[in-house]
Structure 1
Amino acid sequence: MSTEHPGRTVMVVPTYNEADNLAWIVGRLRTRHPDVHVLVVDDASPDGTGRVADELAADDPGVQVLHRAGKEGLGAAYLAGFARALADGYDVVGEMDADGSHQPEQLDRLRDALLRRPGPDGVAGADLVIGSRWVPGGSVVNWPRRREALSRGGNLYVRSLLGIDVRDATAGYRLFRRETLEAIDLASVASTGYVFQTDLVWRTLRAGLRVVEVPIEFVERERGESKMSGRVALESLLRITGWGLRERRARAAQGARRMARAGRDAR
């Protein structure tokens, strides 16, 4: 890893019924990266995840817990966690699942990309780093072909409709610079489900900021149940379609205005 330091870093870990996984994943993260703090955002899990989180926080000052009144979706949990992290003065705010699919041992890849020295393009580092399954070197473990095809197809749809060059816009292993979160108007984010991930990528790019993808190995959870549902997938499809259509209309209107100006100038 680079000898430079990105500043005070916290990984926001949203939880709902992850009592069997939380201590395991937090322990791995804190062991491998003792300078990285953890903020668990628990949505009143009925299986006692909040209690496990409180016990971890009592034993480790690098672990904090934010208890929410109920389950309101991944996006809402992250927004609450981001607000707490920014209020607490962190310089880098990350996202990570609690189920072990995002390996703490690979966090160095994301941190190095955040700090990378200027390359041939003269650009240093990134404003948002994504741990990507679908760039060269990325992979998934224990996924059925149908799920891989669905994820790849969904990301192709995102790229085509929104016109962005990000291979894994739906990924949830990320690092944001503080300044990035402050620039993308989190107060106006309405996405509650997994489409939240795509929403923040798109906002970052529209703000003129730099998104970098690094390859990771994504490991399917071994314990507990996935929170992905048909309702969540439908929300993603509808919102992305709406954004894409609005973007195309805006581009068409902009093109029409340019043609009109060119016509006036030619007279």
Structure 2
Amino acid sequence: MHRNLVIIPTYNEKENIRDITLAVMTLPIPFELLIIDDGSPDGTADIVKELQTEHEGRIHLIQREGKLGLGTAYIRGFRFAIENGYDYIYEMDADFSHNPNDLVALYEACANGGADMAIGSRYIKGVNVVNWPMGRVLMSYFASIYVQLVTGLPIKDSTAGFKCYHRSVLQTIDPDKIQFIGYAFQIEMKFNAWKHGFNIVEVPIIFTERAKGNSKMSRGIFKEAVFGVIQMKIKSLFRKYQPHHLAQ
């Protein structure tokens, strides 16, 4: 049986963390969870510790001091996953914007469909976003088109934060070379996987805006993505990407 680890970075998610954890724990595939909490003052980590006693060995917690950024949280989680021998590693938000049931579809795409990376895509079948203001939908949708145009990355939802990696992808991409820690981190990981020749597929999902807690989105995050993409493309022109079967 494959070992599956779902990484969820948290900051002030006490309203969601219990429900999202239980939703993952009750899925038909035995997923494990790694919560990476950036010193939430609202007690998110305490709730996780309580849940750890109820689901022994399946819930892991890393506590960090202060808000250190989404990208650094995931990279910390990736290291944990590789060190502990997980086969498939997932990124997911704590706020139910990603439906935990879709983890099964991402797993199937990789474990049985031959993908090295599966992306939960909002835009592979039209626009599947619920409860977002139209301005934000358009900004996100055109951000992905912009990324395609600048980089050539053949992915409809390049900014998606819901995905599954086979461990070989994370072993090939050097986390120390990942430059961005915010929104552009998601683009950079996909770009690197594509450049190394991994098989990436998009799985249609419906993205629902959080009902509880506060969104972490800001203008600065989009700015990083816009200018970061150009920077990333230019740097890639001066870099050799080994085919992943040689990089192992």
Mark yes or no: TM-score above 0.5.
yes
The equivalent position to 2:20 in structure 1, one of 25, 28, 31, is 25
Q: CA deviation at 1:244?
A: 2.5
Aligned: 1:221 with 2:210? yes
One-letter amino acid matched to 1:155: S
Determine the structure 2 residue equivalent to 1:136: 125
Taking the aligned partners of 2:208 and 2:60, their CA distance within structure 1 comes to 25
Describe how 1:1-267 pairs up with structure 2 within 5 A. Answer: 7-33=2-28, 35-61=30-56, 62-117=58-113, 125-136=114-125, 139-247=128-236
Taking the aligned partners of 2:230 and 2:179, their CA distance within structure 1 comes to 15
Determine the structure 2 residue equivalent to 1:122: none
Contact 1:205/1:211 (8 A) holds in 2: yes
One-letter amino acid matched to 1:140: V
Q: CA deviation at 1:146?
A: 0.6
Q: CA deviation at 1:34?
A: 5.2
SS in 2 for 1:32: coil
Question: Quick one: percent identity of the two aligned structures?
Answer: 38
Contact 2:132/2:209 (8 A) holds in 1: yes
Q: Deviations over 1:206-253 (max 9, x none)?
A: 111111001001111001111111222211222112123445x659xx
Q: 1:10 to 1:181 in 2, by over 3 A?
A: same
Contact 1:13/1:41 (8 A) holds in 2: yes
Contact 2:29/2:104 (8 A) holds in 1: no
Taking the aligned partners of 1:201 and 1:246, their CA distance within structure 2 comes to 15
Q: Of Structure 1 and Structure 2, which has the larger fraction of its residues in helix?
A: 1
Taking the aligned partners of 2:181 and 2:77, their CA distance within structure 1 comes to 14
Q: 1:87 to 1:153 in 2, by over 3 A?
A: same
CA RMSD of aligned residues (A): 1.6
Which TM-score applies when normalising by structure 2?
0.92
SS in 2 for 1:161: helix
Contact 1:138/1:216 (8 A) holds in 2: no
Contact 2:188/2:232 (8 A) holds in 1: no
Taking the aligned partners of 1:16 and 1:71, their CA distance within structure 2 comes to 8
Q: CA deviation at 1:137?
A: 6.5
SS in 2 for 1:113: helix
Q: 1:226 to 1:84 in 2, by over 3 A?
A: same
Consecutive unaligned residues in structure 2, runs of 5 or more: 240-248
Taking the aligned partners of 2:17 and 2:23, their CA distance within structure 1 comes to 10
Q: CA deviation at 1:78?
A: 0.6
Taking the aligned partners of 2:118 and 2:167, their CA distance within structure 1 comes to 12
Q: CA deviation at 1:138?
A: 6.0
Q: Deviations over 1:87-116 (max 9, x none)?
A: 111111101100001111122211111133
Which TM-score applies when normalising by structure 1?
0.85
Q: 1:189 to 1:250 in 2, by over 3 A?
A: closer
Contact 1:132/1:138 (8 A) holds in 2: no
Structure (1 or 2) with the larger CA radius of gyration:
1
Contact 2:183/2:225 (8 A) holds in 1: yes
Q: Which moved more, 1:235-244 or 1:75-84?
A: 235-244
What count of residue pairs does the alignment treat as equivalent? Answer: 238
Taking the aligned partners of 1:88 and 1:138, their CA distance within structure 2 comes to 37
